Amino acid sequence: MTFIQTSPVSHAQHHAYPVMGSLNGMEIALEFGTPQIQQAEAAVAGVAEFSAFTRFAVKGAGAAEWLSAQGITLPPAANSWLMQDSTLVLRLGNSEYLLEDQFVTGHASRLAQGPAPVGAKLYPVARSDAALVLSGQHALSILAEVCALDVAAELANNQRLLMTQVANISVTLLSQTLNGETVYRLWCDGTYGPYLWHELTAMAQEFGGGPVGLSFYFK
């Protein structure tokens, strides 16, 4: 029997009647309208959900050595990230690492399906984040309203990530170029996903934007 997991944000999306699809065993919103509508909203202020991507996380003083032995290139500085092949490698603080495949199977899937990490000062971390993407010309305006920090200045270095609060929810935040455009990626505890989705889409709609499906970014 195969189980399809609902996304952590699905409760907040049903009223918009998205076209749903399955990715990595999770039901995820693919489209919230025609391609023309999606394009227009994403250009102004779009909010999309990437929660279905496979993740793998470890922490501890032995995490860096273990990941390096698995062939993972690690960000050299705390609170920074890099892209290795199709996998996003995030260094959260000094000694915690989060790997997330980007749509296609990558290093996170390989490590998740392999033997559990065992070693001194090495601790697996279960991640069930809600992962959102904020795009469009008003993305920074939205973040300016919901963040106490000037995230534009903090994220001026493209390889830096922030752990801060957005709309009073603890998030990991970074800026990334996706399909040639600058977008803002957010990860938060999955249980806060519907709230954050509701807040961000409501603000995006004030700018003339709205929810955007995963298929807008990945075919």
Our finding on whether 79 is near other proteins (CB under 8 A) is yes
Smallest separation (angstroms) from other proteins to the CB of 162: 8
Our finding on whether 175 is near other proteins (CB under 8 A) is no
Our finding on whether 93 is near other proteins (CB under 8 A) is yes
C-alpha distance from residue 42 to each of 35, 107, 141, 157, 207 (Å): 10, 29, 14, 23, 11
Determine which helix (DSSP H) or strand (DSSP E) holds 163, and give its type and residue range.
strand 161-166
Q: Are 91 and 80 in contact (CB under 8 A)?
A: yes
Our finding on whether 171 is near other proteins (CB under 8 A) is yes
Q: Which is nearer to other proteins, 52 or 171 (CB)?
A: 171
Residues found in the chain: 219
Q: Which is nearer to other proteins, 101 or 199 (CB)?
A: 199
Which range binds other proteins by CB under 8 A, 40-48, 115-123, 131-139, 159-167? Answer: 159-167
Helices marked H in the chain — which ranges?
10-13, 35-45, 63-69, 107-113, 139-146, 151-154, 193-206
Which residues contribute to the site for other proteins (CB under 8 A)? 78-79, 92-94, 148-149, 162-165, 168, 170-172
